[in-house]
Amino acid sequence: MHTSRRNFPSINTLSAFECAARHLNFTRAAEEMNLTQSAISRQIRDLELQLGVTLFERIRKRVVLTEAGARFLVDAKYLIEQTEGLVYRTMASAKADATLSVATLPTFGSHWLAPRLPQFLQNNPKLAVNLESRWSPFSLQEQFFDVAIHFGRPIWAGASCQPLCDEFMLPVAAPALMADMNVNSANDLPNVPLLHLQSRPTAWRDWFEQQHIENDEPFRGHRFDQFSMVIEACVAGLGVGLLPQYLIETQIELGRLAVVDPRALQTEDAYFLAIPDDKAEKAGVVEFTKWIRSQISQPVDETG
């Protein structure tokens, strides 16, 4: 038995609730949504009746969320964001013959994929691309992505995984830092600040062991949660970073970073493509897969 959709709150009602919950003030919510305070109050009251729970309480002339309201806010925000994304994606592709939605890890997307996309779009001028960053595996079907680029073990529910590239990490630093700290070879690295990525906590230790260089404190130094932060910290001269070669091609070419030692550390995991089973034959997916695999070993063309 299906519940009538007439019993579902509208997106306008959810937006009014989210706005009121964000401000914890019905008057401010009314001003933001260009409504009257009574209209906001009525929408909240109707929503509470639909849900059968109390979403707000008044305590000493203040409006606060109930526990049920706080839980509902999480899902309401998600639904609003999904609806907004759907609208904007549809508007963006209004004049395109087809669309391609790609999820990618943030630094890979900004430092490797985005600079190369112009060539792909030049070869596929009638295709509109939607590129979004994601950290962790998710439901490709529920979030309407055609392909995802991820790092780790090639396992993804409801999708086939294709290997893309291994990860080879090189020690790099700003030339000014190397000059100031007399860094001339790998043997000098135990004496300089090291920069670490939280998701690769043992990388520096593994690299030193691989090169048979003694370092009693391989875990010391600053830590960051994104490769892009480590890259910028290296450029700023905060220390030496151990970074994937394909993410620092441009910085090396521009002279902002220099390779301290050419011996790379290959990590256990690798980058891969995850393609939903029902999207494998989609024309845009097929073309993108062929293109990215052909590009993975090629440097970006800085001249465009």
Mean pLDDT of the chain: 87
Q: What's the pLDDT at 91? A: 62
Residue 96 confidence (pLDDT): 46
Higher pLDDT, 9 or 171: 171
Q: Domains along the chain? A: 5-91 (1.10.10.10), 96-165+269-295 (3.40.190.10), 167-267 (3.40.190.10)
pLDDT over 50 (residue 299): no
Residue 30 and residue 149: Cα distance in Å, rounded? 41
Q: What is the pLDDT of residues 18-30, one digit of tens each?
A: 999 999 999 999 9
Pick the more confident residue, 120 or 9. Answer: 120
Alpha helices in 104-162 (DSSP H): 106-107, 114-123
pLDDT at 89: 59
Count Cβ atoms below 10 Å from residue 266 Cβ, excluding itself.
11
82: confidence class by pLDDT, cuts 50, 70, 90:
confident
pLDDT one-digit tens code per residue, 15-59: 999 999 999 999 999 999 999 999 999 999 999 998 899 999 988
C-alpha span between 55 and 34 (Å, rounded): 22
With the C-alpha atoms ordered 206, 211, 212, 215, is the resulting torsion angle positive or negative?
Answer: negative
State the DSSP string of 176-210: HHHHHTT--SGGGGGGS-EEEETTSTTHHHHHHHH
| Mean pLDDT, residues 164-176 | 94
- pLDDT (mean) for 275-296: 91
Please say if the pLDDT value at position 302 is more than 50. no
The whole model's pTM is what?
0.65
pLDDT band of residue 217 (cuts 50, 70, 90) is: very high
Average pLDDT (149-159) is 88
Helix ranges, the chain (H): 11-23, 26-33, 37-51, 67-92, 106-107, 114-123, 175-180, 203-210, 227-235, 249-253, 283-295
**Helix, strand, or coil here: 212?**
coil
pLDDT digits (tens, 9 = 90+) for 225-268: 999 999 999 999 999 999 998 899 889 999 999 999 999 999 88
